């Protein structure tokens, strides 16, 4: 039988092993952290061939930006703006000229009831080269106009009409007048 005699008020424990293992683990973690920082720093630098390619592309970008600013300066000149506006206007005229009135009136004739007449017609070409017709039609009775709307809707050439306004008959004009817009499938 062995009796241990420890007369210290705070006896010595096994903390020396804990502190030794903690210091060793801390040293290993510090070495790993230094290795990670070194690896990150090395990967942050570009290889020389990529660095030279980046400098070349940056020089091209600078030159392109300079060319763009010079081109924009030319486009902002009043003469250039005038030429652009004139050519845009002429292009719109040519597009409108491409609408065949003979075909348009022939297509309208197939859907127009006998007691409905076209008083005004104005074609409009949209940006996607679709033709819309803005029309004012006169009818002797609302039922005749409704018949015209049904004929437009059932037609393969015209889209569904969009009614814009209505004017009842008066002393000067004996017809019911209707403003409408309709999509027209004529190829330009």
Considering 64, 81, 97, which residue would you say is the last residue of a domain?
A: 97
User: Domain check: are 179 and 108 in the same one?
Assistant: yes
Give pTM, 2 decimals. Answer: 0.51
User: Domain check: are 114 and 68 in the same one?
Assistant: no
CA atoms 62, 68, 69, 70: torsion sign: positive
Domain hosting residue 77, numbered range: 51-97
Buried b (16+ CB within 10 A) or exposed e, 39-61: eeeeeeeeeeeeeeeeeeeeeee
User: Domain check: are 178 and 104 in the same one?
Assistant: yes
User: Domain check: are 145 and 91 in the same one?
Assistant: no
User: Is 28 within the bounds of a domain?
Assistant: no
| DSSP-H helix ranges across 48-180 | 48-75, 78-97, 101-111, 142-154
User: Is 126 within the bounds of a domain?
Assistant: yes
The domain tally of the chain equals 2
Confidence at residue 88, expressed as pLDDT on a 0 to 100 scale: 84
User: Is 23 within the bounds of a domain?
Assistant: no
User: Domain check: are 110 and 78 in the same one?
Assistant: no
User: Is 65 within the bounds of a domain?
Assistant: yes
**CATH number of the domain encompassing residue 126:** 3.30.1360.100
User: Domain check: are 86 and 156 in the same one?
Assistant: no
**Confidence class for position 1, pLDDT limits 50, 70, 90:** low
Supply φ then ψ for residue 168, to 5 degrees: -75, 165
User: Domain check: are 83 and 110 in the same one?
Assistant: no
User: Domain check: are 168 and 114 in the same one?
Assistant: yes
Considering 97, 132, 166, which residue would you say is the last residue of a domain?
A: 97
User: Is 33 within the bounds of a domain?
Assistant: no
When mean pLDDT is compared across 3-7, 134-138, 171-175, the lowest value belongs to: 3-7
User: Domain check: are 86 and 136 in the same one?
Assistant: no
User: Domain check: are 62 and 135 in the same one?
Assistant: no
User: Domain check: are 179 and 129 in the same one?
Assistant: yes
pLDDT in tens, 59-118: 999 999 999 999 998 888 888 888 888 888 887 776 666 678 888 888 999 999 999 999
User: Is 1 within the bounds of a domain?
Assistant: no
pLDDT in tens, 10-67: 666 667 778 889 999 999 999 999 999 988 887 777 778 888 898 999 999 999 999 9
User: Domain check: are 115 and 176 in the same one?
Assistant: yes
- DSSP string computed for 43-55: HHSPPHHHHHHHH
User: Is 125 within the bounds of a domain?
Assistant: yes
């Amino acid at each position: 039988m062995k009796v241990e005699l420890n007369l210290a008020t705070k006896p010595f424990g096994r903390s020396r092993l804990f502190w030794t293992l903690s210091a060793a683990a801390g040293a290993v973690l510090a070495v790993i952290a230094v290795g990670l920082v070194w690896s990150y720093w090395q990967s942050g630098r570009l290889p020389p061939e990529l660095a030279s390619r980046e400098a070349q592309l940056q020089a091209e970008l600078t030159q392109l930006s300079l060319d763009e600013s010079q081109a924009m300066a030319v486009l902002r000149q009043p003469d250039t703006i005038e030429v652009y506006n004139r050519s845009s206007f002429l292009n719109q005229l040519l597009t409108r000229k491409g609408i065949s009135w003979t075909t348009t009136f022939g297509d309208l004739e197939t859907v127009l009831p006998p007691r409905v007449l076209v008083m005004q017609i104005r074609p409009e070409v949209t940006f996607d080269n679709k033709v819309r017709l803005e029309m004012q039609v006169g009818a002797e009775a609302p039922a005749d106009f409704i018949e015209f709307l049904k004929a437009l809707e059932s037609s393969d050439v015209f889209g569904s009409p969009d009614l814009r306004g209505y004017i009842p008959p008066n002393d000067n004009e004996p017809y019911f007048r209707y403003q409408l817009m309709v999509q027209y499938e004529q190829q330009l």
